[in-house]
């Protein structure tokens, strides 16, 4: 499995979610039984502050979804961030499947 670069856009103050399809090189769905997923958002890869992207995985369809609620996105400073998504096998092997820039667009009207 290789790492795919996919850039995403997060609107400040809005609920955010994005879905990613996990495929083998031949476009078949890999066997993901008992796999888990981890994903974080940071200003840059070495930053100490991170935001859990609350990843979920549908192991039969090969789909992982990441999300942030408006209560989190309202506190993100506009600008460029970095995110990645790791698959963790039942044996504990970690594989980065997706990574990229996350652009946070500012908003004049934020939830209270």
Q: List pLDDT tens digits, range 3-57.
A: 899 999 999 999 999 999 999 889 999 999 999 999 999 999 999 999 999 999 9
Q: Please give the domain boundaries of the chain with CATH numbers for all domains.
A: 4-105 (2.60.40.10)
Listing from the earlier edge strand, what are the strands of the sheet with 16-21?
A: 16-21, 63-68, 56-58
Q: Are residues 35 and 89 in contact, defined by beta-carbon separation less than 8 angstroms?
A: yes
Q: In angstroms, rounded to a whole number, what is the distance separating the alpha carbons of residues 26 and 35?
A: 20
- pTM (2 d.p.): 0.91
pLDDT of residue 98: 97
Q: Rg (Cα) of the chain, in Å, rounded?
A: 15
Nearest to 78 by CA among 106, 43, 111, 100: 106
Confidence of residue 1 (pLDDT cuts 50, 70, 90): low
Confidence of residue 89 (pLDDT cuts 50, 70, 90): very high
């Amino acid at each position: 499995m290789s790492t795919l670069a996919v850039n995403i856009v997060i609107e400040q103050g809005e609920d955010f979610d994005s879905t990613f399809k996990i495929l083998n090189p031949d476009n078949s769905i890999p066997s993901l039984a008992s796999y888990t997923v981890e994903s974080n958002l940071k200003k840059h890869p070495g930053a100490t502050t991170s935001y859990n992207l609350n990843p979920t995985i549908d192991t039969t369809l090969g789909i992982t979804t990441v999300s942030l609620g408006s209560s989190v996105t309202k506190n993100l400073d506009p600008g460029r961030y970095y995110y990645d998504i790791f698959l963790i096998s039942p044996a504990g092997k970690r594989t980065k499947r997706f990574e990229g820039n996350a652009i946070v667009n500012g908003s004049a009207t934020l939830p209270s």
